Structure 1
């Protein structure tokens, strides 16, 4: 019995399928690329060698899928093992196959697999559904699978999806579309490419700050005609005037150069008012939670406020109540057992924000005078 190995090459929660061009009996059907293990050759070494020969790229084994399957190739019997592999270098190319496709977990049955490969599909589907952890956000749980993001749902999800549909219809850019619920009960949304700026390590450029202010103004205009009783996840504010994102911050935004390319994590959407959004975005994006020089804080506040179309005093005055709302809301959500907020508490919240707010209030008069 010949020993054969196949590579389930996984990237962004999708697996690479290769279409055979020969022999005639197998042409047009799909397989995990790979080949025969030579005498005295380790399976991992054989797999790396075969993938380099067939696809012109380099992979490494992450784990072997359980079990084996049997088949025959031109009259010779073989035993197949399949390994989940990570792509290390170079893009796969169809050197020995006439087509390559990246398939997500819901697409595995869309191609005609060779019989020996089929027994590995159920286990592989579960592995693909784990997805690839995403940076950004603050509460965790989001993974990428191909061109989609999968996130946990809650009682607020139907209302959030209705809001996203309304905003898309209104033509608001940088908003993810909803694609339903997956096999694990997670919402399926567009993956929004771009760069997430870590404002703990660097600053948004002035152009990025202006783009964010302009986008926020467009959001409020688009959301003004939407109404839904929820339930919503947001902690709530007094006298809300519109339903909005409530967490437009650099960790929830991707940029293409200096322009806003995507705004994600809409689970905190709910009844609010524009000043609440402005205060939170200024706190996180100026960023006012960091002890930057007062003159720089004032200058960046003016840039942000001008881009939105308001005065900087309105933005500055909105910061303290919005930050206090977050502090109180996190504590209440932790008390209720909300897992996302429990994740934040494990990172030192809201005590960390309380300390930052105290520092901001010590600088508040100086910043206001400079405006």
Structure 2
């Protein structure tokens, strides 16, 4: 019987070089929070949510086995279709569909990954990392979320803040090196509209995005300080300086960002 052919996938920063495709499956390392993540994926399958991989088991090497979701993820250099307002709208709509699918998931006694700030925890299990390379597209439309490693107790607001911070993106124009430069405020408003964000959450979204940036960069910095090679490379090749610039930008732009959401 021929050996299974493993094709290395990019993986996220934490799993760089450790994620492989085998046929129609993906194999990924287990983590302390894997039982919780698996319970989440099993719930999503039970309720018929098709925008997430299926858990298929554990292989002989002790790796989780997930269904492979065909499509494209957004990595540099960003393709033109991925930067359109239509693509952005579809990400917001996919995130809304995920939140609706997970709304009645009530896990007990599970160990999750990185806790989010308590003021953004409402009982919903949020994805917490809807980065550009964690969304699968087909024909320019977002159809699935992958990499649930950071999933855990959060809220719709926290997920929206995470997504729009990365997809708008929310950072100084000088640090945006693609066609989104100069359009952050417009795309912020567009994402909130496409998601159908409530008025109460619109009032908190700017602060949530700023807090999310601090939370995310603290996670990266901790990984770098703990000796993780890919986090160390990321933190020491400009991420530290970008973090400081973005924190300052959020403070200076807060009023204008609020205005863009509420006009």
TM-score scaled by structure 1?
0.59
CA RMSD, aligned part only? 2.5
1: CA distance, partners of 2:172 / 2:50: 29
Match of 2:214 among 317, 320, 324: 324
Look up the match of 2:246.
Answer: 357
Look up the match of 1:231.
Answer: 111
TM-score scaled by structure 2?
0.81
More strand by share: 1
2: CA distance, partners of 1:294 / 1:260: 22
1: CA distance, partners of 2:169 / 2:150: 20
Question: 1:169: Cα distance to partner?
Answer: 1.4
2: CA distance, partners of 1:334 / 1:227: 33
Look up the match of 1:29.
Answer: none
Look up the match of 1:138.
Answer: 13
Look up the match of 2:71.
Answer: 194
Shift of the 316–235 alpha-carbon distance from structure 1 to 2, 3 Å rule, reads same
Q: Which runs of 4 or more aligned residues in structure 1 lie more than 6 Å from their structure 2 counterparts after TM superposition?
A: none
Q: Which is higher, the Rg of structure 1 or of structure 2?
A: 1
Shift of the 264–181 alpha-carbon distance from structure 1 to 2, 3 Å rule, reads same
2: CA distance, partners of 1:324 / 1:199: 23
Give the secondary-structure state (helix, strand or coil) at the position aligned to 1:260: strand
Give the secondary-structure state (helix, strand or coil) at the position aligned to 1:189: strand
> Is the Cα contact below 8 Å between 1:192 and 1:261 reproduced in 2?
no
> Is the Cα contact below 8 Å between 2:221 and 2:235 reproduced in 1?
no
1: CA distance, partners of 2:233 / 2:182: 34
Look up the match of 1:212.
Answer: 91
2: CA distance, partners of 1:324 / 1:301: 18
Question: 1:278: Cα distance to partner?
Answer: 1.1
Equivalent pairs counted in the alignment come to 243
2: CA distance, partners of 1:192 / 1:359: 38
The Cα offsets for residues 138-170 of structure 1, whole Å up to 9 and x where unpaired, read as 332211111111111111111101101111212
Shift of the 345–227 alpha-carbon distance from structure 1 to 2, 3 Å rule, reads farther
Where does structure 2 lack aligned partners over 5 or more consecutive residues? none
Where does structure 1 lack aligned partners over 5 or more consecutive residues? 1-107, 109-120
1:262 lines up with 2:144 in the alignment: yes
More helix by share: 2
1: CA distance, partners of 2:232 / 2:171: 18
Question: 1:249: Cα distance to partner?
Answer: 1.6
The Cα offsets for residues 311-370 of structure 1, whole Å up to 9 and x where unpaired, read as 555433321001111122233345556x5xx42222226515514523642444444444
> Is the Cα contact below 8 Å between 1:197 and 1:204 reproduced in 2?
no
1: CA distance, partners of 2:214 / 2:73: 25
